[in-house]
Amino acid sequence: MTTHKRNSFHGSPRKGNTYHATRLFVDELCNCGDVHLTEFFLPTDLPEFCTGCTLCFGGRQTDCPNAQYSAPILQAILHADALVLATPHYGACDMSAAMKNLLDHIDFLVLNISPNEEMFGKKAFVITTGAGSGFAAKPIAKYLRHCGVNRVYTYSVRLFTDKWGNMSAARRTRHEKALKLAARRFYHTKRKRPQLSTITYFYITRIIIRRFVGVGSYPCELWKQRGYFKKRPF
């Protein structure tokens, strides 16, 4: 039997609405088969903000000032089959600061810096809650696609109230059924050809790095080393 490795990132320190929705999803996911789930709670597991030192943009990820926190998370991401990212909607900047901090720490995984072949075989699911939950999901999904993630799915819960239990019984039941169904579908989703937007971004990036970034730069040398100028990582 195959063991599926999943990483779940909780983008809020409160175990409120977003946690409740995510719990419904991951519990159903684990019921589908042999799933090894690793959960990270933000900001507890990544308490320091990205300093913008850009060392990771030059291949020096291990020299990150916050490597004691970011390195284990990066390894978990690279070795997982699937990712689950969850955040409440915050009116000031869509996603929570903790979730934004996570993406800042792994920003170098995007195709125009240092794409990893492992990312192209992954699928991801983004769960958001709140009045503008759909707006919070979009930048996360876009970032994951720019890292080459094979398929990104989202589910947004607009509660129209401050607590899950305060929703009407009918609305609450609808969301709970939908999240469980989404988990089952996500579990059984097979690896597919990357989306057209990801493929297009890959080829555009390859042209830019080869013609404009130039030999000797970290992205160019990395792409050359991994053979991405002659082959596709997907």
Q: What is the pTM of this model?
A: 0.93
The pLDDT score that the predictor gives to residue 215 is 83
Q: Which one, of 123, 129, 128, lies nearest residue 145 by Cα?
A: 123
Q: What integer pLDDT is reported at residue 1 of this predicted model?
A: 45
Mean pLDDT by 10 residues, the chain (234 residues): 78 91 96 93 96 94 95 95 94 88 96 90 94 90 94 92 89 95 95 87 93 89 93 87
> What does residue 45 show for φ and ψ, rounded to 5 degrees?
-85, -5
Task: Identify the helix (H) or strand (E) that includes residue 203.
Answer: helix 196-208
Phi and psi of 8, rounded to 5°? -115, 130
Determine the pLDDT at residue 2. 55
Domains, the chain, ranges and CATH? 4-192 (3.40.50.360)
C-alpha span between 57 and 224 (Å, rounded): 16
Longest dimension (CA), the chain: 61
